Structure 1
Amino acid sequence: MAENSEQQAGKPIKYTITHHRQPKHTHEAFIKWIVEDHVPAAMPLFKKHKVLNYSLFVTPPPLNAVVAQQFSNFRPTWDFADYDCVIEYILPSLETITNVLSDPEWAEVLKDQDEWVDTSRALVSVGHFTPYLLESGEVVNVKK
Protein backbone atom coordinates (compact mmCIF):
# COMPACT_ATOMS: atom_id res chain seq x y z
CA MET A 1 0.00 0.00 0.00
CA ALA A 2 1.32 3.46 -0.88
CA GLU A 3 1.99 5.83 1.94
CA ASN A 4 -0.16 8.95 2.03
CA SER A 5 1.16 12.53 2.11
CA GLU A 6 0.96 12.78 5.89
CA GLN A 7 3.11 9.65 6.29
CA GLN A 8 5.67 11.06 3.82
CA ALA A 9 5.91 14.47 5.52
CA GLY A 10 9.40 15.09 6.80
CA LYS A 11 10.94 12.19 4.85
CA PRO A 12 13.84 12.96 2.52
CA ILE A 13 13.16 13.43 -1.19
CA LYS A 14 14.94 11.40 -3.86
CA TYR A 15 15.56 13.40 -7.01
CA THR A 16 17.13 11.70 -10.01
CA ILE A 17 18.08 12.83 -13.47
CA THR A 18 19.25 10.65 -16.34
CA HIS A 19 21.97 11.90 -18.63
CA HIS A 20 22.95 10.95 -22.15
CA ARG A 21 26.32 12.14 -23.37
CA GLN A 22 26.73 14.22 -26.48
CA PRO A 23 27.41 11.71 -29.31
CA LYS A 24 30.82 13.21 -30.09
CA HIS A 25 32.12 11.93 -26.73
CA THR A 26 32.75 8.37 -25.63
CA HIS A 27 30.95 7.01 -22.59
CA GLU A 28 34.29 6.78 -20.76
CA ALA A 29 35.25 10.39 -21.52
CA PHE A 30 31.78 11.56 -20.48
CA ILE A 31 31.95 9.81 -17.10
CA LYS A 32 35.51 11.08 -16.59
CA TRP A 33 34.24 14.65 -17.18
CA ILE A 34 31.42 14.20 -14.66
CA VAL A 35 33.68 12.67 -11.99
CA GLU A 36 36.74 14.87 -12.45
CA ASP A 37 35.20 18.22 -13.46
CA HIS A 38 31.48 18.46 -12.75
CA VAL A 39 31.28 16.73 -9.35
CA PRO A 40 34.15 18.70 -7.74
CA ALA A 41 32.66 21.97 -9.02
CA ALA A 42 29.19 21.07 -7.70
CA MET A 43 30.15 19.80 -4.22
CA PRO A 44 30.55 23.18 -2.50
CA LEU A 45 27.11 24.23 -3.75
CA PHE A 46 25.54 20.93 -2.63
CA LYS A 47 27.06 21.34 0.81
CA LYS A 48 25.94 24.98 0.95
CA HIS A 49 22.33 23.93 0.28
CA LYS A 50 22.50 20.87 2.57
CA VAL A 51 22.06 18.14 -0.04
CA LEU A 52 22.07 14.95 2.08
CA ASN A 53 23.54 12.57 -0.50
CA TYR A 54 24.75 12.71 -4.09
CA SER A 55 25.65 9.65 -6.08
CA LEU A 56 26.34 8.67 -9.65
CA PHE A 57 24.84 5.49 -11.11
CA VAL A 58 26.93 4.71 -14.21
CA THR A 59 25.47 2.47 -16.92
CA PRO A 60 28.30 1.30 -19.23
CA PRO A 61 27.11 0.32 -22.73
CA PRO A 62 28.86 -3.12 -22.74
CA LEU A 63 27.20 -4.09 -19.46
CA ASN A 64 23.84 -2.76 -20.65
CA ALA A 65 24.08 -4.78 -23.86
CA VAL A 66 24.73 -8.05 -22.00
CA VAL A 67 21.93 -7.50 -19.50
CA ALA A 68 19.49 -6.29 -22.18
CA GLN A 69 20.12 -9.52 -24.11
CA GLN A 70 19.54 -11.63 -20.99
CA PHE A 71 16.36 -9.73 -20.10
CA SER A 72 14.95 -10.24 -23.60
CA ASN A 73 14.45 -13.90 -22.66
CA PHE A 74 12.70 -13.17 -19.36
CA ARG A 75 10.85 -9.93 -20.07
CA PRO A 76 10.57 -9.52 -23.86
CA THR A 77 8.18 -6.55 -23.56
CA TRP A 78 10.49 -4.47 -21.37
CA ASP A 79 12.47 -1.60 -22.83
CA PHE A 80 16.05 -1.22 -21.68
CA ALA A 81 17.30 2.25 -20.74
CA ASP A 82 20.14 3.58 -22.86
CA TYR A 83 21.34 6.60 -20.85
CA ASP A 84 24.95 6.91 -19.72
CA CYS A 85 24.24 7.63 -16.07
CA VAL A 86 21.73 8.61 -13.44
CA ILE A 87 22.57 11.33 -10.97
CA GLU A 88 20.83 10.71 -7.66
CA TYR A 89 20.24 13.29 -4.95
CA ILE A 90 18.78 12.78 -1.49
CA LEU A 91 17.34 16.08 -0.28
CA PRO A 92 15.82 17.26 2.98
CA SER A 93 12.99 18.86 0.97
CA LEU A 94 12.00 19.65 -2.59
CA GLU A 95 12.91 23.26 -1.87
CA THR A 96 16.58 22.19 -1.72
CA ILE A 97 16.77 21.44 -5.46
CA THR A 98 15.03 24.73 -6.21
CA ASN A 99 17.62 26.52 -4.07
CA VAL A 100 20.51 24.80 -5.89
CA LEU A 101 19.09 25.48 -9.35
CA SER A 102 18.37 29.15 -8.59
CA ASP A 103 21.74 29.83 -6.94
CA PRO A 104 23.83 32.11 -9.21
CA GLU A 105 26.85 29.83 -8.62
CA TRP A 106 24.99 26.95 -10.35
CA ALA A 107 25.53 28.59 -13.76
CA GLU A 108 29.29 28.31 -13.23
CA VAL A 109 28.94 24.64 -12.30
CA LEU A 110 27.02 24.04 -15.55
CA LYS A 111 29.31 26.09 -17.80
CA ASP A 112 30.50 23.01 -19.80
CA GLN A 113 27.25 21.04 -19.62
CA ASP A 114 26.11 21.65 -23.21
CA GLU A 115 29.47 20.41 -24.49
CA TRP A 116 29.02 17.09 -22.69
CA VAL A 117 25.33 16.45 -21.90
CA ASP A 118 22.46 15.98 -24.34
CA THR A 119 20.02 17.80 -22.05
CA SER A 120 17.14 17.32 -24.51
CA ARG A 121 17.03 13.65 -23.46
CA ALA A 122 17.21 14.12 -19.68
CA LEU A 123 14.54 12.46 -17.56
CA VAL A 124 13.80 13.68 -14.04
CA SER A 125 12.12 11.65 -11.30
CA VAL A 126 11.24 12.90 -7.86
CA GLY A 127 9.62 11.17 -4.93
CA HIS A 128 9.99 9.57 -1.55
CA PHE A 129 11.95 6.38 -0.99
CA THR A 130 11.83 3.64 1.60
CA PRO A 131 14.68 1.15 2.01
CA TYR A 132 13.78 -2.48 2.70
CA LEU A 133 17.14 -4.28 2.44
CA LEU A 134 20.31 -2.55 3.61
CA GLU A 135 23.85 -3.26 2.38
CA SER A 136 24.50 -4.85 5.76
CA GLY A 137 21.87 -7.49 4.95
CA GLU A 138 19.45 -6.07 7.50
CA VAL A 139 15.77 -6.12 6.48
CA VAL A 140 13.98 -2.95 7.54
CA ASN A 141 10.51 -1.41 7.14
CA VAL A 142 8.86 -4.81 6.61
CA LYS A 143 6.06 -5.92 8.89
CA LYS A 144 6.87 -9.23 10.53
Structure 2
Amino acid sequence: MAEVPTQQASGPIKFTLTHYRKPEHTHEEFIKWIVEKHLPLAVPVFKRHGIISYSLCSHDIQFVTPPPLNNAMKEQLGKVNPAWDFADFDCFIEYVIPDMGVVGSVMSDPKWLVSVKDQDE
Protein backbone atom coordinates (compact mmCIF):
# COMPACT_ATOMS: atom_id res chain seq x y z
CA MET A 1 0.00 0.00 0.00
CA ALA A 2 1.25 3.50 -0.77
CA GLU A 3 2.56 5.62 2.07
CA VAL A 4 0.01 8.15 3.29
CA PRO A 5 1.18 11.62 4.31
CA THR A 6 0.78 12.16 8.06
CA GLN A 7 -1.73 14.97 7.66
CA GLN A 8 -4.03 12.62 5.71
CA ALA A 9 -3.43 9.54 7.83
CA SER A 10 -5.48 10.63 10.83
CA GLY A 11 -9.15 9.89 10.40
CA PRO A 12 -11.83 9.93 9.62
CA ILE A 13 -11.24 9.53 5.90
CA LYS A 14 -13.96 9.62 3.26
CA PHE A 15 -13.47 7.84 -0.06
CA THR A 16 -15.49 6.56 -2.98
CA LEU A 17 -15.13 3.37 -5.00
CA THR A 18 -16.59 3.06 -8.45
CA HIS A 19 -17.84 -0.27 -9.71
CA TYR A 20 -18.02 -1.54 -13.28
CA ARG A 21 -19.78 -4.52 -14.75
CA LYS A 22 -18.56 -6.78 -17.50
CA PRO A 23 -20.24 -5.95 -20.82
CA GLU A 24 -21.88 -9.37 -21.06
CA HIS A 25 -23.98 -8.54 -17.98
CA THR A 26 -26.77 -6.00 -17.95
CA HIS A 27 -26.66 -3.03 -15.64
CA GLU A 28 -29.67 -4.47 -13.79
CA GLU A 29 -27.96 -7.85 -13.27
CA PHE A 30 -24.89 -6.11 -11.92
CA ILE A 31 -26.84 -3.95 -9.47
CA LYS A 32 -28.79 -7.02 -8.35
CA TRP A 33 -25.46 -8.78 -7.63
CA ILE A 34 -24.17 -5.80 -5.61
CA VAL A 35 -27.39 -5.49 -3.60
CA GLU A 36 -28.37 -9.12 -3.12
CA LYS A 37 -25.06 -11.02 -3.08
CA HIS A 38 -22.12 -8.74 -2.28
CA LEU A 39 -23.46 -6.26 0.30
CA PRO A 40 -25.14 -8.80 2.62
CA LEU A 41 -21.73 -10.48 2.97
CA ALA A 42 -19.69 -7.26 3.03
CA VAL A 43 -21.66 -5.19 5.54
CA PRO A 44 -20.85 -7.41 8.56
CA VAL A 45 -17.16 -7.13 7.60
CA PHE A 46 -17.48 -3.33 7.43
CA LYS A 47 -19.00 -3.28 10.91
CA ARG A 48 -16.45 -5.69 12.38
CA HIS A 49 -13.56 -3.51 11.19
CA GLY A 50 -15.01 -0.20 12.32
CA ILE A 51 -16.05 1.41 9.06
CA ILE A 52 -17.89 4.49 10.29
CA SER A 53 -20.38 4.72 7.44
CA TYR A 54 -21.04 3.72 3.88
CA SER A 55 -23.50 5.51 1.64
CA LEU A 56 -26.35 3.22 0.84
CA CYS A 57 -29.99 4.08 0.33
CA SER A 58 -33.23 2.11 0.25
CA HIS A 59 -31.96 -0.16 -2.49
CA ASP A 60 -28.49 -0.41 -0.89
CA ILE A 61 -26.82 1.71 -3.53
CA GLN A 62 -26.29 5.43 -3.21
CA PHE A 63 -25.90 6.19 -6.89
CA VAL A 64 -26.21 4.20 -10.06
CA THR A 65 -25.61 5.33 -13.62
CA PRO A 66 -27.76 3.27 -15.97
CA PRO A 67 -26.18 3.36 -19.43
CA PRO A 68 -29.21 4.92 -21.20
CA LEU A 69 -29.26 7.85 -18.75
CA ASN A 70 -25.51 8.29 -18.78
CA ASN A 71 -25.37 8.13 -22.59
CA ALA A 72 -28.19 10.67 -22.97
CA MET A 73 -26.53 13.08 -20.53
CA LYS A 74 -23.18 12.63 -22.25
CA GLU A 75 -24.70 13.39 -25.65
CA GLN A 76 -26.70 16.40 -24.49
CA LEU A 77 -24.09 18.00 -22.23
CA GLY A 78 -21.27 17.13 -24.60
CA LYS A 79 -22.80 19.55 -27.08
CA VAL A 80 -22.51 22.31 -24.48
CA ASN A 81 -18.87 21.57 -23.69
CA PRO A 82 -17.12 18.82 -25.68
CA ALA A 83 -14.16 18.89 -23.27
CA TRP A 84 -16.27 17.55 -20.38
CA ASP A 85 -15.65 13.94 -19.45
CA PHE A 86 -18.39 11.64 -18.22
CA ALA A 87 -17.97 8.82 -15.73
CA ASP A 88 -18.97 5.48 -17.21
CA PHE A 89 -19.16 3.37 -14.04
CA ASP A 90 -22.31 1.49 -13.09
CA CYS A 91 -22.43 2.57 -9.46
CA PHE A 92 -20.36 3.92 -6.60
CA ILE A 93 -20.30 3.42 -2.88
CA GLU A 94 -18.89 6.02 -0.52
CA TYR A 95 -17.18 5.06 2.74
CA VAL A 96 -16.01 6.86 5.87
CA ILE A 97 -13.27 5.02 7.74
CA PRO A 98 -11.48 5.87 10.98
CA ASP A 99 -7.99 5.51 9.44
CA MET A 100 -6.11 3.93 6.55
CA GLY A 101 -5.39 0.78 8.57
CA VAL A 102 -9.02 -0.25 8.19
CA VAL A 103 -8.57 -0.79 4.46
CA GLY A 104 -5.88 -3.42 5.03
CA SER A 105 -7.79 -5.15 7.81
CA VAL A 106 -10.96 -5.38 5.70
CA MET A 107 -9.12 -6.63 2.62
CA SER A 108 -7.36 -9.36 4.60
CA ASP A 109 -10.51 -10.56 6.38
CA PRO A 110 -11.44 -14.07 5.13
CA LYS A 111 -15.12 -13.08 5.07
CA TRP A 112 -14.30 -10.11 2.84
CA LEU A 113 -12.66 -12.49 0.41
CA VAL A 114 -15.92 -14.48 0.36
CA SER A 115 -17.93 -11.31 -0.31
CA VAL A 116 -15.84 -10.51 -3.43
CA LYS A 117 -15.17 -14.04 -4.63
CA ASP A 118 -17.18 -13.64 -7.83
CA GLN A 119 -16.53 -9.95 -8.42
CA ASP A 120 -14.42 -10.69 -11.49
CA GLU A 121 -17.46 -12.23 -13.09
TM-score (norm 1): 0.69
CA distance in 2, matches of 1:9, 1:18: 22
Post-superposition, which runs of at least 4 consecutive aligned residues in structure 1 deviate over 6 A?
Answer: none
Partner in structure 1 of residue 91 of structure 2: 85
Alignment deviations for residues 33-84 of structure 1 (CA, whole Å, 9 cap, x no partner): 1001101110110000111111232111111112112221332111211111
- Give % identity: 55
- Residue 61 (1) aligns with residue 67 (2): yes
**Structure 2: 5+ residue stretches without partners:** 1-5, 56-60
- Residue 73 (1) aligns with residue 79 (2): yes
Shift of 1:100: 0.3
Q: Output the amino acid matched with 2:21.
A: R
Partner in structure 2 of residue 32 of structure 1: 32
Indicate the RMSD between aligned Cα atoms, in angstroms.
Answer: 1.9
TM-score (norm 2): 0.80
Instruction: Say how many residue pairs are matched.
Output: 111
Partner in structure 1 of residue 120 of structure 2: 114
Task: Find the structure with the greater CA-based Rg.
Answer: 1
**Structure 1: 5+ residue stretches without partners:** 116-144
